[in-house]
Amino acid sequence: MNVRIGDVGRAVSALSPSGYVEIDGVRRSARSEGTYIDAGRDVIVVRGEMPSFIVREIEPGIPLPRFPNHGTTIEKSEHQRNSADVAVSEQEEQRLAWKQLKRRMRIGAAASGAFGLLVGLANAALGGHYNWASVNETIQLPLLHAGSAAIGTAAAIVLYFFTGWFVTHILPAEADAVFEPSFLAILAGLVGAALGFWMNFASGDVNTIALWSAGVSFAFAAVVCGVSWVVTLARG
């Protein structure tokens, strides 16, 4: 069983400073912070590197201390690790990386959706003001604004994930790149979606409008991703 920072145990021998402690029923070698600790005293894990670690005596009646890295598992040093230890460590790193990536995706998708909503409202306002594709004779402005805002929000979220996938898996990327969305590509995709929408709005065919909007949107986003990659490569 792994030992973590903040685990509480009992000294089964005197520590001066080295000795043995029992944590979760397992006898382990440990060292004090330099002070003498009598056998039988309660101790708390402060820091260390397996198979040994540093403990501190717990004073009766005093609340247990909290450490900045409280709960962190104490790893073995590199020369002490076997293949199973390495596999467990790698799995934990992958789990933490995936957790961080999901959090970044949630935040990025929410921000993209909010940006898409604003772009959608601006698109409807411009279309109504300039009467693009005779929109004022076809649909009521409140409905146009609501629909454009909803479509802009959804399109921006889709483009966020599309550009993140495209940059990482289609274009040559860094070996450790996992998900790298492009704000410029998202903006270009939204412009493309608006262009495809207005180019075909007069047709009145929902399928045609949707296909053109999506197609032009993805094309614009992909082109901007490619151009950005070329510029970055040239600078590097």
Domain ranges (residues) in the chain: 8-81, 89-235
pLDDT of residue 69: 81
Give pLDDT tens digits for 38-53.
Answer: 999 999 999 876 667 8
Measured distance CA(146)–CA(142) in Å, rounded: 6
Amino acid at 148: S
Segment 13-21 mean pLDDT = 92
Residues sharing a CB contact under 8 Å with residue 74, sequence separation 6 or more, in sequence order: 2, 3, 4, 5, 45, 47, 48, 49, 50, 53
Instruction: Give yes or no for a contact between 188 and 228, defined as CB atoms under 8 angstroms apart.
Output: no
The rounded distance, in Å, linking the Cα atoms of 42 and 61 is 12
Residue 187's nearest CA partner among 135, 123, 124 is: 123
Whole-model pTM: value is 0.65
Mean pLDDT value of segment 147-165: 95
Q: What's residue 75's pLDDT?
A: 67
% of the chain exceeding 70 in pLDDT = 90
The C-alpha atoms of residue 73 and residue 89 are separated, in whole angstroms, by 10
Class of domain 8-81: mainly beta
Residue 113 C-alpha from the chain's centroid: 17
Distance (Å) of CA 100 to CA 93, 95, 130, 136, 182: 11, 9, 45, 46, 18
| CB crowding 32-53: b at 16 or more within 10 Å, else e | beeeebeeebbbbbbebebeeb
Q: Which residue has the higher pLDDT, 101 or 51?
A: 101
Residue range 146-163: average pLDDT? 95
